[in-house]
Amino acid sequence: MIFFFVYLHFKINNKMKKSILISTSIILLLLTSCTAILFKTSQPKDGANLKEFPAKICGKYAHVEKDSETIEIKSNYIEYITTKKNLNDLSSNSKMYISDSLQLKQLKDYYIVSIKDKETGAWMVTLLKLNNAYLEIYYIDFDDKEAKATAKKLKKIIAVKEFKKENNEVKYYLIDPSKAELEMMIDKGFFKKAEGVKKIN
Protein backbone atom coordinates (compact mmCIF):
# COMPACT_ATOMS: atom_id res chain seq x y z
CA MET A 1 0.00 0.00 0.00
CA ILE A 2 1.26 3.47 -0.79
CA PHE A 3 1.57 6.31 1.67
CA PHE A 4 0.32 9.47 0.08
CA PHE A 5 2.24 12.09 2.00
CA VAL A 6 4.85 14.19 0.22
CA TYR A 7 4.54 14.98 -3.48
CA LEU A 8 7.68 16.15 -5.28
CA HIS A 9 6.86 17.07 -8.85
CA PHE A 10 8.80 17.32 -12.06
CA LYS A 11 8.16 17.04 -15.82
CA ILE A 12 9.38 14.21 -18.00
CA ASN A 13 8.98 14.15 -21.81
CA ASN A 14 6.04 16.60 -21.66
CA LYS A 15 3.83 13.89 -20.18
CA MET A 16 1.62 14.38 -17.14
CA LYS A 17 3.72 15.37 -14.19
CA LYS A 18 4.98 12.38 -12.30
CA SER A 19 4.68 12.18 -8.52
CA ILE A 20 7.09 10.69 -6.06
CA LEU A 21 5.33 9.02 -3.21
CA ILE A 22 6.38 7.52 0.06
CA SER A 23 5.61 3.83 0.50
CA THR A 24 4.83 2.04 3.74
CA SER A 25 8.57 1.75 4.28
CA ILE A 26 8.89 5.47 3.39
CA ILE A 27 10.77 4.66 0.18
CA LEU A 28 10.25 7.20 -2.59
CA LEU A 29 8.46 5.60 -5.51
CA LEU A 30 8.10 6.95 -9.01
CA LEU A 31 4.76 6.72 -10.77
CA THR A 32 5.60 6.41 -14.44
CA SER A 33 2.00 6.86 -15.51
CA CYS A 34 -1.08 7.74 -13.54
CA THR A 35 -4.63 8.93 -13.73
CA ALA A 36 -4.99 11.33 -10.86
CA ILE A 37 -8.06 12.53 -9.05
CA LEU A 38 -7.31 16.21 -8.56
CA PHE A 39 -9.10 19.06 -6.80
CA LYS A 40 -9.99 22.43 -8.33
CA THR A 41 -9.03 24.27 -5.14
CA SER A 42 -6.96 23.55 -2.06
CA GLN A 43 -8.99 21.76 0.59
CA PRO A 44 -11.23 22.34 2.38
CA LYS A 45 -12.70 24.82 -0.07
CA ASP A 46 -12.75 28.35 1.38
CA GLY A 47 -10.96 27.10 4.50
CA ALA A 48 -8.38 29.30 6.21
CA ASN A 49 -4.74 28.67 5.36
CA LEU A 50 -2.49 27.79 8.26
CA LYS A 51 0.84 29.58 8.17
CA GLU A 52 2.67 26.74 9.86
CA PHE A 53 2.34 23.18 11.08
CA PRO A 54 1.12 23.11 14.71
CA ALA A 55 3.73 22.18 17.31
CA LYS A 56 1.98 18.92 18.20
CA ILE A 57 2.45 17.53 14.68
CA CYS A 58 6.05 18.73 14.24
CA GLY A 59 8.82 16.20 14.70
CA LYS A 60 10.64 13.37 12.98
CA TYR A 61 8.74 10.29 11.81
CA ALA A 62 9.83 6.90 10.55
CA HIS A 63 8.41 3.51 9.73
CA VAL A 64 8.91 1.31 12.77
CA GLU A 65 10.97 -1.21 10.77
CA LYS A 66 13.14 1.29 8.87
CA ASP A 67 15.65 3.77 10.20
CA SER A 68 17.38 4.86 6.98
CA GLU A 69 14.46 7.01 5.79
CA THR A 70 12.58 9.60 7.78
CA ILE A 71 10.15 12.46 7.35
CA GLU A 72 10.68 15.57 9.42
CA ILE A 73 7.96 18.16 9.86
CA LYS A 74 9.06 21.61 10.94
CA SER A 75 6.84 24.64 11.45
CA ASN A 76 7.03 25.71 7.81
CA TYR A 77 8.25 22.73 5.80
CA ILE A 78 8.29 18.96 5.32
CA GLU A 79 11.63 17.27 4.70
CA TYR A 80 12.33 13.77 3.43
CA ILE A 81 15.71 12.43 4.60
CA THR A 82 17.39 9.20 3.56
CA THR A 83 20.83 7.69 3.83
CA LYS A 84 20.13 5.50 0.80
CA LYS A 85 21.55 6.38 -2.60
CA ASN A 86 20.28 6.27 -6.18
CA LEU A 87 16.59 6.73 -5.43
CA ASN A 88 15.63 7.61 -9.00
CA ASP A 89 18.56 10.06 -9.15
CA LEU A 90 16.92 12.33 -6.58
CA SER A 91 18.59 14.29 -3.86
CA SER A 92 18.80 12.37 -0.60
CA ASN A 93 17.15 15.27 1.21
CA SER A 94 14.04 17.00 -0.16
CA LYS A 95 12.25 19.94 1.47
CA MET A 96 8.85 21.37 0.62
CA TYR A 97 7.85 24.66 2.22
CA ILE A 98 4.38 25.96 3.02
CA SER A 99 3.71 28.44 0.22
CA ASP A 100 1.17 29.47 -2.40
CA SER A 101 1.64 26.05 -4.00
CA LEU A 102 1.69 23.99 -0.79
CA GLN A 103 -1.20 24.93 1.46
CA LEU A 104 -2.07 23.61 4.88
CA LYS A 105 -5.59 23.72 6.29
CA GLN A 106 -7.50 21.97 9.04
CA LEU A 107 -10.80 20.09 9.02
CA LYS A 108 -11.83 18.67 12.38
CA ASP A 109 -8.96 16.36 13.47
CA TYR A 110 -7.34 16.33 10.02
CA TYR A 111 -4.52 18.52 8.76
CA ILE A 112 -4.93 18.73 5.01
CA VAL A 113 -1.93 19.25 2.75
CA SER A 114 -2.81 20.50 -0.74
CA ILE A 115 -0.06 20.73 -3.35
CA LYS A 116 -0.60 22.55 -6.62
CA ASP A 117 0.33 20.87 -9.87
CA LYS A 118 1.88 23.53 -12.10
CA GLU A 119 0.92 21.78 -15.32
CA THR A 120 -2.80 21.47 -14.61
CA GLY A 121 -3.29 24.20 -12.01
CA ALA A 122 -5.22 21.65 -9.93
CA TRP A 123 -4.44 20.38 -6.45
CA MET A 124 -3.43 17.03 -4.99
CA VAL A 125 -4.68 16.43 -1.48
CA THR A 126 -3.44 14.37 1.47
CA LEU A 127 -4.97 14.10 4.94
CA LEU A 128 -2.81 13.85 8.06
CA LYS A 129 -4.11 12.84 11.46
CA LEU A 130 -2.12 12.54 14.65
CA ASN A 131 -2.99 9.46 16.70
CA ASN A 132 -0.86 9.43 19.84
CA ALA A 133 2.71 8.83 18.62
CA TYR A 134 1.61 7.88 15.11
CA LEU A 135 0.91 10.07 12.12
CA GLU A 136 -1.85 8.57 9.99
CA ILE A 137 -1.87 9.38 6.29
CA TYR A 138 -4.97 9.27 4.10
CA TYR A 139 -4.80 9.44 0.32
CA ILE A 140 -7.13 9.27 -2.64
CA ASP A 141 -6.57 6.74 -5.44
CA PHE A 142 -3.73 7.45 -7.85
CA ASP A 143 -3.61 4.14 -9.69
CA ASP A 144 -5.26 4.16 -13.14
CA LYS A 145 -7.82 1.44 -12.46
CA GLU A 146 -8.58 2.52 -8.91
CA ALA A 147 -8.92 6.17 -9.92
CA LYS A 148 -11.43 5.22 -12.61
CA ALA A 149 -13.49 3.19 -10.14
CA THR A 150 -13.32 5.95 -7.53
CA ALA A 151 -14.36 8.60 -10.06
CA LYS A 152 -17.38 6.49 -10.99
CA LYS A 153 -18.45 6.32 -7.34
CA LEU A 154 -17.77 10.02 -6.83
CA LYS A 155 -20.10 10.91 -9.70
CA LYS A 156 -22.98 9.69 -7.53
CA ILE A 157 -22.40 12.47 -4.98
CA ILE A 158 -20.47 15.29 -6.73
CA ALA A 159 -19.65 16.55 -10.21
CA VAL A 160 -16.57 14.95 -11.78
CA LYS A 161 -14.92 16.41 -14.89
CA GLU A 162 -12.66 14.36 -17.13
CA PHE A 163 -9.60 15.74 -18.88
CA LYS A 164 -8.26 13.55 -21.67
CA LYS A 165 -5.01 13.01 -23.51
CA GLU A 166 -4.64 13.23 -27.28
CA ASN A 167 -5.27 9.48 -27.50
CA ASN A 168 -8.61 10.03 -25.72
CA GLU A 169 -7.49 8.26 -22.55
CA VAL A 170 -8.35 10.02 -19.30
CA LYS A 171 -5.42 12.12 -18.11
CA TYR A 172 -6.99 13.13 -14.81
CA TYR A 173 -10.31 13.69 -13.06
CA LEU A 174 -11.16 17.07 -11.54
CA ILE A 175 -13.50 17.56 -8.61
CA ASP A 176 -14.56 20.67 -6.68
CA PRO A 177 -16.24 19.55 -3.45
CA SER A 178 -17.74 21.90 -0.92
CA LYS A 179 -16.60 21.54 2.69
CA ALA A 180 -19.67 19.39 3.40
CA GLU A 181 -18.97 17.23 0.35
CA LEU A 182 -15.33 16.79 1.40
CA GLU A 183 -16.50 15.64 4.82
CA MET A 184 -18.84 13.20 3.07
CA MET A 185 -15.94 11.89 0.99
CA ILE A 186 -13.93 11.30 4.17
CA ASP A 187 -16.84 9.65 5.97
CA LYS A 188 -17.56 7.37 3.01
CA GLY A 189 -13.96 6.20 2.81
CA PHE A 190 -12.86 7.82 -0.44
CA PHE A 191 -9.59 8.68 1.28
CA LYS A 192 -7.74 5.47 2.07
CA LYS A 193 -5.85 5.10 5.29
CA ALA A 194 -2.26 4.05 4.87
CA GLU A 195 -0.12 2.55 7.60
CA GLY A 196 1.04 5.28 9.95
CA VAL A 197 4.56 6.41 10.69
CA LYS A 198 5.81 6.69 14.26
CA LYS A 199 7.20 9.83 15.84
CA ILE A 200 10.77 9.19 16.91
CA ASN A 201 11.57 12.60 18.44
pLDDT in tens, 173-197: 999 999 999 999 999 999 988 766 8
Is a pLDDT exceeding 50 seen at residue 48?
A: yes
- Write out the residue range of the structural domain in which residue 9 sits: 2-33+48-142+186-199
pTM of the model: 0.80
Phi first, then psi, for residue 6 (nearest 5°) are -105, 125
What does the pLDDT look like over 84-124, one tens digit per residue? 654 444 444 578 889 998 999 999 999 999 988 888 899 98
Q: Is residue 177 part of a domain?
A: no
Is a pLDDT exceeding 80 seen at residue 8?
A: no
- Quick one: 167 exposed, middle or buried, by C-beta within 10 A (0-12, 13-18, 19+)? exposed
- Across 39-56, b (16+ Cβ under 10 Å) vs e yields bebbbbbebeeeeebeee
Q: Is residue 195 part of a domain?
A: yes
The rounded distance, in Å, linking the Cα atoms of 100 and 49 is 10
Q: Is residue 123 part of a domain?
A: yes
Q: Is residue 165 part of a domain?
A: no
CB 110 within 8 A of CB 128: yes
Classified as helix, coil or strand, 56 is helix
Domain count of the fold of the chain: 1
The rounded distance, in Å, linking the Cα atoms of 19 and 30 is 6
Q: Is residue 174 part of a domain?
A: no
Q: Is residue 18 part of a domain?
A: yes
